[in-house]
Structure 1
Amino acid sequence: MYIYLSKKIAVSNSIKIYCLAWSSAQGWIAVGGDEGLLKVLKLDAASSKGVANPAVLAMNQTLGGHKGRVQVITWNEKHEKLTTSDQNGLIIVWTLYKGIWHEEMINNRNQSVVRGMAWDSEGQKICIVYEDGAVIVGSVDGNRIFGIELKGVPLSGVQWSPDGKLLVFCLKSGEVHVYDNQGNFTMKVHIQCFPSTLVMNGVPIVGMTWYDGRNGFVEKDCPCFAIVYQTGHIQIMRHQNDENPVIVDSRVNAVHCSWNHNGTLLAVVGSAILPEDNKESNVVQFISLYGEHVRTMKIPGRSITACQWEGTSLRLAFAVDSFVYFAILRPDYKWGYFSNTLVFSYPGQTGTNVTFWDTNSSEIHNKVVPALYGIAAYKEYCVLATKDTTNRQYGLLVCNAISTPVDRKYTDVEPLFIALNSTHVFAASKDHFLIWHFMTPKSHSTLGIAGNKQRKERLYHVDDTPSGVAEVIQDLDKSYQATGDPICCMAASDKVLVIGRESGALQRYSLPQVALVQRYGLSSKPQRLAINSNSTRLSIIDNTGIMTLVDPEGGGGDTGRFERRDVWDMLWASDNPDLIAIMEKTRMYVIRGNEPEEPINCSGYVCTFQDLVIRTILLDDIMAHQDALNPEEHIIDLEVKSLRDTRQLLEKVGIAEATSFIEENPHPRLWRLLAEAAVKKLDLKTAEAAFVRCSDYPGIQLIKRLSNVTNDQIKRAQVAAYFGDFNEAEKLYLDIDRRDLAIALRERLGDWFRVIQLMKLGTGGTDSQLQTAWNSIGDYFADRGNWENAKEYYEKARNTERLMMCCQHLEDYESLEKIVSTLPDKHSLLKEIGEIFVSVGMCSQAVATFVKAGMIQTAVQSCVSLNQWDQAVALAETYNMLPQIASLLDKYARSLTENNRHLEVIQLYRKANRYLDAAKIMFQLAEKESVKCFKPVRIKRLYVLAALLVEEYTALKNKDSEDKSGLLLENYDELSGIDLKMIDDAWKGAEAYHYLMLAQKQLYEGHHIDATITSIHLKSYEAFIPSEEIYCLIALASCNSKAFGTASKAFMKLESMESFNEVKREQYANLAMDIFTKHSPKDPKSIFMQCPSCSSPLPSWSGVCQGCETRYPVCIVTGRPLLNLTSAWTCKSCKHSAGYSDIGVRQFCPLCHASARI
């Protein structure tokens, strides 16, 4: 970090200033002092891009209202209000209206002096404390919320906790008390910052500030509550109950303190005697949240009274006497740049956010680490030094440009300082430094040969003198003893490691064997080190901002006594060991040897220096807008003076003068620039010499090609194409009527759209060129998933293979069928197209395609895989492959049967036209269900399906003899021994359960006679329904219909059943006795009908006349015999009949559920 004064504003009449407040949201600066002084200032932001210019005063308004000294000022940034108080106790709230500040509210207690005012983080409540112990809490609209009187407790300040639940009061005695937001005492803060020999009582608190976390925290539960005493003793706590706070003795007579915008730096102002002075001076001391001294800056003037940070912490304001001093701060951001990727960090809510920003593609990757010590980058990788808060270990994480970790190492060495080269990570605490060989994907093969021994980290104490013998180092004692001269900075290259110590000593180690080769000293503490490209020079920035150069090879002395002041950043050129770019305040200097070039106004951080171009990153703007990264706004490329001068010489003077200048200031970039200018002017001799000097082999090849060309216009076109100006090259070719060369140029570039346009301009392109162009355009659209346009161009190119691919992605299977029809037999693409048809289940198209390809076996396999057995059988029969299909079918069916997948077996047999096999399995399923006696509807459906399969078999059998496949299947079934009885009585099972359910329905609906007639039919189905169930139903229905004769016969049957035991027979006999002792066993006459043929009496349940033996079918709707066959309806599916009057209201057959339309 570096800070320097940039501006001073004087207050008129030399009125002393006592307090400052800087609004972080709007940038207003409130200044309060003697004689009622109250001013509001506004500074304009810097106008130049990338330059932190001293701001210009844009507004200076004096606010009247106070008569005495203004002592307390605070901003309400949420509501843009300013609250001020003077020594007389007068409080005024100011508000902004039309660009002018006006009084909004006034309050005067007239009893005591206001010692502190603080708004909560939401800007809704303000707490005001008086010297006499009075406390008032009010709302933003001016209403009083509550007030308390702390008798005998003089107060000196107040702060809200970040969550607004606590109020912290500091007392004149130096104590700190905590109250809740209702004014109830909670606790007394334990003050530990004073040594045991020093009595705390009476030491006043000059500053108490609690960072509210609005801009994130560097790590979870980090110190943020600072208490500063007048003696310079500081206590920084994580919360009010922190028993292990950070303790600091700043050795400053402090007067004020202030956190920066993200709670990482505490600025403490006061007076102290500096080492180089004999008298007391005004100073500002910067302390990290962990209590580490960062920097001390001397402030001119007699008495300093206050300091305030700007909203982004890039500027500070100091109240000194009657002046306001402004200082510009250049923060030490944790960042790195490698492989065109910027990696930077900023505090988040749960830790530190690390962003990887690809400056070329603007691709962003984010990581969150619990705590971050630093970032170092080199070539293709960066290393993050982190802290694992769970196991208290420190981690070194090597990442690539997309934030992916490629290697990691956990260690007990706190990585306060880190460096990186192409093979090793270097980490140092104050006492030790660690060297670790990290592994990358490129190094896996070579490192695997050396084994893990080379990978093992090496730890050294900074006071040791290693000789480079790695085996000895591993056995040394690694105790963590402290040193009297701690490490303060570190730098590394592929050849050397340099460590700086607080005494000014520098230690240089050779790499990779790590041997201490040199020690030399500086006159001040080094803060930053940098090594040039060939490790021959070292640049140092000390803690006062003075930069010097050291020549390690020359004994470590200063190089020509080179010295620059106010330096805060530096970077050596990666391709020239004599060039270094440094940043002094708001200017960049390029040092060549020991001589500086003309400065360039810039405040960016230098990330690369190569080819005489310096790339700077505007990290200040990036940190302020992390979500709006833009290379054009946040990256600036600057050219060194020699590059700028060379350009001017080439543009305005000539090649000869530029050549002389470059010979005096040689650099590959300048020679390349000369070569480009010379070749554009067709000065081939100069161009060739320049290309040789910059080792540009492609440029030399260009010169050779141009030497063989006689036409200057063609030369110019080739030069334009070489430098990427392809439109100009094409224009030059067309101007001399060489359209063929223009087409060849566009073909090499892959600009096939332009190739087509050029071909259409006239004749000259061949059919082969045109076809290649169409194909390439099709490839262009195909690569982007635009299959419709790709298909169009492939059709023009007659590229059947790629056209087939487009049709597949577009699911245009009709076009695929057309492609099949255009291809000759046994074409190689037919197989791929057939496989496409198979993948989407288009069996017929796949079979046709495979047949055309001569792949009969594959066609059959496709039918089998798609479960299209009918097509498989037909195809197999045509090509004499039926036995193979039959065996494959049976094998598959057995596999399904073993897994109890009977319905799939039935479907399989049905598709293969083996209806009887399917019906047999269906009958077996029905019989199993009937054994369970559960859900007659399900059993009936199974029997119906089985019967329908038999009907399908019968229909197939009755086809004409020309249906050869059917005949072969019939022979196959007959040879399989199918039960013929199953064919003849296919509907018996369905009829049985149909009449069973019909009888029960009629019985429940009260049609007892119909139920009796229907139930009597069940006597013919004892093979399907248990006899007991049948005769019980007959007895029940006939008793309800008064047909006791029929009931008697049913009971007789029940009593004579051999399967019953004696108890059950006796029960039925007793029941019969009870019934027939009351009723005579006779049937009513209504239950008999008359045969229309012979007029003989015909029982309603009988379908055969006893007189003439005429058979009458049973109505499947009512269960009665159909005496008039001329008025009977017959189902086309199951061939069962019903009366027209009964079936007329029905849409489906009651038995098989086929359509019943008459």
Structure 2
Amino acid sequence: MYAAVEHGPVLCSDSNILCLSWKGRVPKSEKEKPVCRRRYYEEGWLATGNGRGVVGVTFTSSHCRRDRSTPQRINFNLRGHNSEVVLVRWNEPYQKLATCDADGGIFVWIQYEGRWSVELVNDRGAQVSDFTWSHDGTQALISYRDGFVLVGSVSGQRHWSSEINLESQITCGIWTPDDQQVLFGTADGQVIVMDCHGRMLAHVLLHESDGVLGMSWNYPIFLVEDSSESDTDSDDYAPPQDGPAAYPIPVQNIKPLLTVSFTSGDISLMSNYDDLSPTVIRSGLKEVVAQWCTQGDLLAVAGMERQTQLGELPNGPLLKSAMVKFYNVRGEHIFTLDTLVQRPIISICWGHRDSRLLMASGPALYVVRVEHRVSSLQLLCQQAIASTLREDKDVSKLTLPPRLCSYLSTAFIPTIKPPIPDPNNMRDFVSYPSAGNERLHCTMKRTEDDPEVGGPCYTLYLEYLGGLVPILKGRRVSKLRPEFVIMDPRTDSKPGF
């Protein structure tokens, strides 16, 4: 296999991105006809939660073609949380989004006629440790750090709840692949097993000295069969009212493995929670986050590792960099990606038929292109040449045949289109419409009073990745006539308006 960070500018928000979740874009067709989802994974939506309490929903595409049409609106900033958003979870069968904040508030969002609105609100007043949808999307499992667990329906009805008396906190909760049991991990290395009706089944100690960070299965998150063979590619599809929508989730032949990650960086691959001889992965990383790809044959483990060769000071602290290690179902190390990122990777998620791995580190979002097969020489040459070029326009300066230039340019086509203006060309960005038919949504805020003018200043922000990008700043120069001075918010200098 081969993996490389996508070329181009680093995508950033105005606050730390704390969680990620991706789902494919559902096409639109006539209501009377079935919907084909052959290209379901080529386009999709990425949900992000940040430290300002804003949820971002951003369009993504892996077509690597510039002439592809995009939705009319490619970014949504969903507001409503009063604290930082720590969890985002898509429900693909029912096209809903669950978000949790640090104060315990849980929102379930739905999209209708191009707008997102809150359908359900649950606020128990305690911190949520995990939120997981069942594989058919009909049930939600909510676990709290104080030991309270709850299972409810997708429509908000409570099925059962229980109070688990523990000396340590619950850190995560998941469904078994058949949705008949739920597992909870604790900070003191235990796993608690309950059936789908809330009855206690088992209490197992996995590790005496390490706490459980997270648990997952190398199994599709949602299981719904595809029932269509048409070929449509529109945007606003509404799922039928009598049941979930159908998606081409690949059915894997690999026996499901329970994957448990510990605070030490070790990861156990188990046939079940009572497996006495699990396969242990010694990742050698700290602050690990792990997730299986949709096919279930590749495990991505991201974390921090000390650098002992470069950047080491004789009497100072060692520099750290984040890296991603990939393992197969036997726990064998396959590939290591050095990211050169100096901050911990907070969250990762797979997308686009496992061809993309999205990573959040601080306010930055990184996209990794993943090739699961043996890399071709052409792909390796493409990545080597693209890494030496600064911009896409430098490709035309190479003495290469047009076909090879076109192939090389695909390395610079971003998965997430950055609608961020060029600071050196701000006038054209604000004066002319975008090249496509998409709409760019903005927010205006009153910033501060200008002592020279004696009046307020206003800044126009572009919404992006749950954050705000300043594009214009203005102040009133006359109280008698509506006259304003427009400036570049980064330099406070007039751009010539």
Q: Which residue of 1 aligns with 2:381?
A: 584
The question of 1:321 aligning with 2:362 is answered yes
Q: 1:993-1012 maps to which residues of 2 (within 5 A)?
A: none
Query: Structure 1 CA distance, aligned partners of 2:399 and 2:269?
Result: 44
Greater relative contact order (CA < 8 Å, ≥ 6 in sequence): 2
Q: Which residue of 2 aligns with 1:312?
A: 353
Q: Which residue of 2 aligns with 1:778?
A: none
The question of 1:165 aligning with 2:175 is answered no
The question of 1:22 aligning with 2:22 is answered yes
CA deviation string 1:215-264 (max 9, x = no partner):
23354xx3522111121100011223333322110000033111101111
Q: 1:914-1063 maps to which residues of 2 (within 5 A)?
A: none
Query: Structure 2 CA distance, aligned partners of 1:37 and 1:161?
Result: 31
Percent identity over the alignment is: 27
CA deviation string 1:478-520 (max 9, x = no partner):
xxxxxxxxxxxxxxxxxxxxxxxxxxxxxxxxxxxxxxxxxxx
Query: Structure 2 CA distance, aligned partners of 1:57 and 1:70?
Result: 26
1:43 to 36, 42, 60: 60
Shift in CA distance, 272/57, structure 1 to aligned 2, threshold 3 Å = farther
For residue 100 of structure 1, report the CA deviation from its aligned partner. Answer: 2.4
Query: Structure 2 CA distance, aligned partners of 1:63 and 1:139?
Result: 23
Instruction: Check conservation: 1:41, 1:57, Cα contact below 8 A.
Output: no
Counterpart residue type for residue 266 of structure 1 = L
TM-score of the two chains, using structure 1 as the length reference? 0.28
Query: Structure 2 CA distance, aligned partners of 1:9 and 1:164?
Result: 39
Instruction: Check conservation: 1:233, 1:251, Cα contact below 8 A.
Output: yes
The question of 1:80 aligning with 2:95 is answered yes
Q: Which residue of 1 aligns with 2:430?
A: none
The question of 1:89 aligning with 2:117 is answered no
1:286 to 313, 326, 331: 326
For residue 205 of structure 1, report the CA deviation from its aligned partner. Answer: 2.2
Q: Which residue of 2 aligns with 1:33?
A: 50
Query: Structure 2 CA distance, aligned partners of 1:268 and 1:47?
Result: 26
Counterpart residue type for residue 71 of structure 1 = V
Matched residue SS, 2:214: strand
Q: Which residue of 1 aligns with 2:337?
A: 297
Q: Which residue of 2 aligns with 1:105?
A: 120
Q: Which residue of 2 aligns with 1:228?
A: 261
Instruction: Check conservation: 2:53, 2:82, Cα contact below 8 A.
Output: yes
Counterpart residue type for residue 208 of structure 1 = M
2:298 to 246, 265, 274: 265
1:210 to 208, 214, 217: 217
For residue 303 of structure 1, report the CA deviation from its aligned partner. Answer: 2.7
Q: Which residue of 2 aligns with 1:4?
A: 4
Shift in CA distance, 582/262, structure 1 to aligned 2, threshold 3 Å = closer
Instruction: Check conservation: 1:44, 1:58, Cα contact below 8 A.
Output: no
Shift in CA distance, 301/98, structure 1 to aligned 2, threshold 3 Å = farther
Query: Structure 2 CA distance, aligned partners of 1:261 and 1:582?
Result: 23
Instruction: Check conservation: 2:185, 2:213, Cα contact below 8 A.
Output: no
**Which blocks of at least 5 consecutive residues in structure 2 are unaligned?**
27-43, 224-249, 313-318, 387-397, 409-497
Instruction: Check conservation: 1:228, 1:254, Cα contact below 8 A.
Output: no
Instruction: Check conservation: 1:254, 1:271, Cα contact below 8 A.
Output: yes
Query: Structure 2 CA distance, aligned partners of 1:258 and 1:57?
Result: 32
For residue 83 of structure 1, report the CA deviation from its aligned partner. Answer: 0.4
**Which blocks of at least 5 consecutive residues in structure 1 are unaligned?**
195-199, 334-567, 571-580, 590-594, 604-1158
The question of 1:120 aligning with 2:134 is answered yes
Matched residue SS, 1:319: strand
Query: Structure 1 CA distance, aligned partners of 2:348 and 2:139?
Result: 24
The question of 1:181 aligning with 2:196 is answered yes
Query: Structure 1 CA distance, aligned partners of 2:114 and 2:299?
Result: 32
Query: Structure 1 CA distance, aligned partners of 2:308 and 2:336?
Result: 11
Instruction: Check conservation: 1:121, 1:162, Cα contact below 8 A.
Output: yes
For residue 11 of structure 1, report the CA deviation from its aligned partner. Answer: 4.2
Matched residue SS, 2:353: coil
Greater fraction of residues in strand: 2
CA deviation string 1:110-138 (max 9, x = no partner):
1x100100011000100100110001110
For residue 588 of structure 1, report the CA deviation from its aligned partner. Answer: 9.6
The question of 1:238 aligning with 2:271 is answered yes
Shift in CA distance, 12/135, structure 1 to aligned 2, threshold 3 Å = same
RMSD: 2.9
Q: Which residue of 1 aligns with 2:146?
A: 132
Matched residue SS, 1:263: coil
For residue 85 of structure 1, report the CA deviation from its aligned partner. Answer: 0.6
Q: How many residues in Structure 1 have an aligned counterpart in Structure 2? A: 339
Query: Structure 2 CA distance, aligned partners of 1:582 and 1:30?
Result: 30
Instruction: Check conservation: 2:219, 2:252, Cα contact below 8 A.
Output: no
Instruction: Check conservation: 1:95, 1:104, Cα contact below 8 A.
Output: yes
Shift in CA distance, 56/283, structure 1 to aligned 2, threshold 3 Å = farther
Q: Which residue of 1 aligns with 2:40?
A: none
Instruction: Check conservation: 2:217, 2:256, Cα contact below 8 A.
Output: no
Instruction: Check conservation: 1:17, 1:33, Cα contact below 8 A.
Output: yes
Query: Structure 1 CA distance, aligned partners of 2:379 and 2:5?
Result: 19
CA deviation string 1:1125-1146 (max 9, x = no partner):
xxxxxxxxxxxxxxxxxxxxxx
Query: Structure 2 CA distance, aligned partners of 1:24 and 1:274?
Result: 37
Shift in CA distance, 25/137, structure 1 to aligned 2, threshold 3 Å = farther
Query: Structure 2 CA distance, aligned partners of 1:250 and 1:125?
Result: 33
Matched residue SS, 1:584: helix
CA deviation string 1:768-816 (max 9, x = no partner):
xxxxxxxxxxxxxxxxxxxxxxxxxxxxxxxxxxxxxxxxxxxxxxxxx
Q: 1:497-508 maps to which residues of 2 (within 5 A)?
A: none
Instruction: Check conservation: 2:22, 2:46, Cα contact below 8 A.
Output: yes
Shift in CA distance, 224/56, structure 1 to aligned 2, threshold 3 Å = farther
Query: Structure 1 CA distance, aligned partners of 2:61 and 2:48?
Result: 17
CA deviation string 1:425-454 (max 9, x = no partner):
xxxxxxxxxxxxxxxxxxxxxxxxxxxxxx
Query: Structure 2 CA distance, aligned partners of 1:56 and 1:602?
Result: 25
Query: Structure 1 CA distance, aligned partners of 2:286 and 2:196?
Result: 33
For residue 57 of structure 1, report the CA deviation from its aligned partner. Answer: 11
Q: Which residue of 2 aligns with 1:889?
A: none
CA deviation string 1:510-563 (max 9, x = no partner):
xxxxxxxxxxxxxxxxxxxxxxxxxxxxxxxxxxxxxxxxxxxxxxxxxxxxxx
Query: Structure 2 CA distance, aligned partners of 1:276 and 1:123?
Result: 48
Instruction: Check conservation: 1:32, 1:71, Cα contact below 8 A.
Output: yes
For residue 22 of structure 1, report the CA deviation from its aligned partner. Answer: 1.0
Q: 1:531-570 maps to which residues of 2 (within 5 A)?
A: 568-570=375-377
Counterpart residue type for residue 324 of structure 2 = V
Query: Structure 2 CA distance, aligned partners of 1:57 and 1:325?
Result: 24
2:85 to 66, 70, 81: 70
Query: Structure 2 CA distance, aligned partners of 1:59 and 1:308?
Result: 19
Instruction: Check conservation: 1:41, 1:58, Cα contact below 8 A.
Output: no
Q: Which residue of 2 aligns with 1:141?
A: 155
Matched residue SS, 1:23: strand
Query: Structure 1 CA distance, aligned partners of 2:92 and 2:279?
Result: 30
For residue 324 of structure 1, report the CA deviation from its aligned partner. Answer: 1.0
Counterpart residue type for residue 285 of structure 1 = K
Shift in CA distance, 224/100, structure 1 to aligned 2, threshold 3 Å = farther
Matched residue SS, 2:103: coil
For residue 45 of structure 1, report the CA deviation from its aligned partner. Answer: 3.8
Query: Structure 1 CA distance, aligned partners of 2:367 and 2:64?
Result: 18
Shift in CA distance, 600/218, structure 1 to aligned 2, threshold 3 Å = farther
For residue 180 of structure 1, report the CA deviation from its aligned partner. Answer: 0.8
Q: Which residue of 2 aligns with 1:248?
A: 281
Counterpart residue type for residue 187 of structure 2 = K
Query: Structure 2 CA distance, aligned partners of 1:56 and 1:272?
Result: 40
Instruction: Check conservation: 2:267, 2:283, Cα contact below 8 A.
Output: yes
CA deviation string 1:306-358 (max 9, x = no partner):
1100041100111111011111111126xxxxxxxxxxxxxxxxxxxxxxxxx
2:371 to 330, 339, 342: 330
Query: Structure 1 CA distance, aligned partners of 2:107 and 2:307?
Result: 40
CA deviation string 1:592-620 (max 9, x = no partner):
xxx996534449xxxxxxxxxxxxxxxxx
